[in-house]
Structure 1
Amino acid sequence: MGFLRKEPAPPEDSFTRRQLLEDLHSTKNALETAYANFETVVDPDLIDCYTYEIYSVQKRYKFLLEQAKQMDLQTFF
């Protein structure tokens, strides 16, 4: 009975690659948003806030790019 056969599950690696690309995309957007917010604030506390946010998101972005490099992913980021 053909309709009872299970479709093979996609390889775990393809899920990981797709998730990594999605994380890279969302992190890139977060970095762009943090830069845009930084450029519009004048309050010293908010300047500090966005400075730390930019630094944090840059660290995450660098980590994700290294992961993509290890997986031989080609990205346009």
Structure 2
Amino acid sequence: MSLNNPLAAIVPFKVGEIIKDQYTLVQQIGAKIYVAIPEALYLNGDISRHVAIKFEQTMFNRPMLSIEVIVLKALA
């Protein structure tokens, strides 16, 4: 998946690839330094939906999402 933002997280998948036999990547819809968010088509039997998937880089051997949760709890 090509990213327009050189500071965005690197995603090891390309548009058109199928993930976990159910999600076909359509296009990049968002990117930040630690995350990339592609649109995907979810297919499961008769059900199909467009969804967003959040891919994140890990830092300090911890997913960034858990660090975000810790920071937000500290700010509350």
Fold match by TM threshold 0.5: no
TM class by shorter chain equals under 0.3
Q: TM-score scaled to structure 2, two decimals?
A: 0.23
Please identify the structure whose Cα radius of gyration is greater.
1
- Greater helix proportion: 1
Q: Which has the higher contact order (CA 8 A, sep 6+)?
A: 1
Q: TM-score scaled to structure 1, two decimals?
A: 0.23
